[in-house]
Amino acid sequence: MKKTYSFLKRYGVALLSSAFLSTALFAADEAPGVKGASDEEFIPAKEVLTIKYVDVGKPYHLDVETLHGFFNDAKGVTVPLQKQDKAFPNGGGSVNNAEVKAIHDGLTVYFKVSWSDPSKNARAIAVQEFRDAVALMFPLGAVEITPAEHFSPRMGDREKPTNLWHWKADWEADLLVKGELEDVEAQYPNMHDDFNLNPYSAYYHRELITSVEVLSGGRAANNLLSQPWRGRSVEDLNAEGFGTLTTQDHQDVNGCSKYDDGVWTVIFYRSLITNDPHDVQFVPGGTSYFNMAVWNGGEQDRNGQKNISIQWHPVTLERVAWQ
Amino acid sequence: MTLVHNWHLGRRMEYPYFESRPKHQFAAVFNINRCIACQTCTMACKSAWTYNKGQEYMWWNNVETKPYGGYPQSWDVKTLKLIDNGENTWYTDEKDEKLSPYGVYEGDTIFEAAAKKNINQWAVGYIPEDKEWRAPNFGEDVAKSNKPDEYSSLPEHSRWFFYIQRLCNHCTYPGCLAACPRKAIYKRKEDGIVLIDQKRCRGYRKCVEQCPYKKPMYRGLTRVSEKCIACYPRIEGRDPLTKGRPMETRCMAACVGQIRLQGFLDDNPKNPVTWLIKHDKLALPLYPQFGTEPNIYYIPPRWAPRSYLRQMFGPGVDEAIDKFMVPSRERLAVLSLFRMTQTIIFEYKIEEGPKVFETTIHGKKFELYNDTVIGLGEDGQEVVRTTVEEPVYIRDPKHYNSI
Ligand code: SF4
Ligand code: SF4
């Protein structure tokens, strides 16, 4: 542990500064259909989320059952959510708040988010089906957010990049499937197909599939949404304002979830420090901010149609026990 | 919103982006009068682009029967209802040859209806559910009676239906492109083809919702949406067959009924597609009132009720049908080019031939000249030559009984 911490101390700062410099990610456009934000959006919430130091050890299973006990002593914050009404398309409004708790063990940070949603939507295969999802967002680099220093709580801004962790209910469901992607048969059990991209199917035709890449659309284009074997339920992204959301080349975040009695509980986890300049970095004893959004698939929520928090929330990382 | 000019509507309209027309625009003319609904075009597309998993329900090209058919079911009626404000009329007293050739549309487009209804998105629309895509041939060949309470009697059965051949219109002001909050959809500057970037798409289905023609389709397997790509490798001349010259799409080239001619809409009056659409006004846009300035143009069917056709193709219907029934000398020559080659024709030339026939049609004099019409490719070289009268070949008597 001690060794890891000195590693953090030595390289953490350098990584933080390189993260801060890497702002030229996207060419963000001032999209038409975007209303200006009110000043209060630039004032962070008062309540601070303390990322409590807890010796998690090496949990045998990284699932909600195993992990949730570690959050017992962590103090949560309740984040109010509302309809997204600034950028087209507007939407959301069905989820009013979510509870967030966070812990770290000097190596890994865990965020637990729970919210109530009467319908579980964990698939997006039929054209009219949308998934439940939740995202955490962090400003990239060391920033101070004040009304004088505008940093949009809505996906960041040009030159103000953010790192987003987007958990998707259907990605979690994919993980339970052989081949790690729920196939079309999950939705349409009696369907027939001649040319199957699923290598476990009797109709898989490797030569055909690999010779005509274009036929597999998003898969050939390396769209992470289309890929089997993602091995995770959380997508690691960056954004610099509306419409700029971009999947990172390097995926570092994981998650697990549980849906019980109308309540989703999602735990995100990632190592405190990564060596990806596009990632937020967490230094014990340090501070940052987070913001979040929840999508209710049952209400056709997706993209800007979501339940959002319109304020940044400060976070502090407790020092590790030996600090 | 910015104001852009939509010549189908004869006026400016609101659109989220500036007017930016391509160098020349992918376009086609379909002669509805000749279609036999053989679906060869549909299968040509299917076997080229959508035979893979998750694409089973996708028919980027489909041929449906009007008035009852529709893929997805009732797509047009549903969208027409969304823009209906009770005053979706056309002002046709004044026309400008270039800016408002059909007059001025006074109703709402899909963009204007959304702004009026304050729904905080760019266009009105809806997502057809999977069951609505399930039966692409629903209503095929079902006729509508003009006198529903009576049996038809001779000499004339007053029943009608017609086929409508549909693919993405590669619109000038695409609803799909406007709808996409990520700008994952783009319109190519070189040929106006509208594409969904398969890497940027996140399967939000805003395009599925806001394309009034319902041509973007969600693929459950890849969790992102796909649409007609206008066979762009062929359009770019990458098929060896046409030796680097732009080549028509699969659905056009396969057309058995010879109803299709594809090319690019440009400013050249001797471009056959431009001539038919802009100069002769024989071919009309499909549901121009949606406001996307679609680029597949139709020669309306002679036999269907005019009010129905006017709703579908706008106020240019009567003139177009009159012209089609008694075609002029040049029109006949240009129509002879349909399906004579799959190399895209950029310009035509006519060499005059002798008069071979004359008659009167609906009281109007009609003369048939056997002119020769020559199609030139992008490089100005001759790519096809044909005559108005189809050549007749008479079998040598010694082969009468041979196969
Ligand atoms: S027909 Fe639909 S999919 Fe095609 S360009 Fe127009 S709006 Fe987009
Ligand atoms: S191939 Fe031609 S004739 Fe046959 S259905 Fe298609 S458009 Fe009609």
In a domain, B79, yes or no: yes
* Chain B partners within 8 Å of A222 (Cβ): 199
Instruction: Verify whether the Cβ–Cβ distance A88 to B121 is below 8 Å.
Output: yes
| Domain span including residue A130 | 48-181+228-317
Instruction: Verify whether the Cβ–Cβ distance B53 to A184 is below 8 Å.
Output: yes
In a domain, B395, yes or no: no
CATH number at residue A288: 2.60.40.1190
In a domain, A6, yes or no: no
The yes-or-no verdict on residue A200 having pLDDT over 80 is no
In a domain, B387, yes or no: no
**Higher model confidence: residue B234 or residue A33?**
B234
CATH number at residue B22: 3.30.70.20
Query: If pLDDT is split at 50, 70 and 90, which confidence band does A201 have?
Result: low
In a domain, B379, yes or no: no
| Domain span including residue B43 | 2-329
Q: Count how many domains chain B has.
A: 1
Query: If pLDDT is split at 50, 70 and 90, which confidence band does A203 have?
Result: low
Strand partners, A214: none
Preceding peptide of B128 cis, ω within 30° = no
Query: If pLDDT is split at 50, 70 and 90, which confidence band does A5 have?
Result: very low
Query: If pLDDT is split at 50, 70 and 90, which confidence band does A214 have?
Result: low
In a domain, B341, yes or no: no
Q: Is B175 in the pocket of ligand 1 (CB under 6 A)?
A: yes
Using one digit for the tens of pLDDT, what is the confidence trace for A308-318?
Answer: 999 999 999 99
The yes-or-no verdict on residue A21 having pLDDT over 60 is no
What is the least distance, in Å, from the CA of B369 to any CA of chain A? Answer: 48
Ligand 1 centroid from CA B292, angstroms:
8
In a domain, A167, yes or no: yes
A128 touches chain B (CB under 8 A): yes
B186 touches chain A (CB under 8 A): no
Q: Is B137 in the pocket of ligand 2 (CB under 6 A)?
A: no
Q: Count how many domains chain A has.
A: 1
Number of the ligand 2 atom closest to the C-alpha atom of B34: 3
In a domain, A268, yes or no: yes
Query: If pLDDT is split at 50, 70 and 90, which confidence band does B323 have?
Result: very high
Query: If pLDDT is split at 50, 70 and 90, which confidence band does A7 have?
Result: very low
ipTM: 0.90
Ligand 1 centroid from CA B175, angstroms:
6
CA-nearest residue for atom 5, ligand 1, is: B170
Tell me, what's the pLDDT at A15?
37
Q: What is the pTM of this model?
A: 0.91
* B-interface mutation test, from A223, A224, A237, most B Cβ less than 10 A away: A223
From B169, B172, B180, B298, the mutation candidate for ligand 1 (largest count of ligand atoms within 8 A of CB) is: B169
* Chain A partners within 8 Å of B121 (Cβ): 88-90
Tell me, what's the pLDDT at B229?
97
In a domain, A137, yes or no: yes
In a domain, B363, yes or no: no
Pick B220's closest partner by Cβ from A184, A195, A242: A184
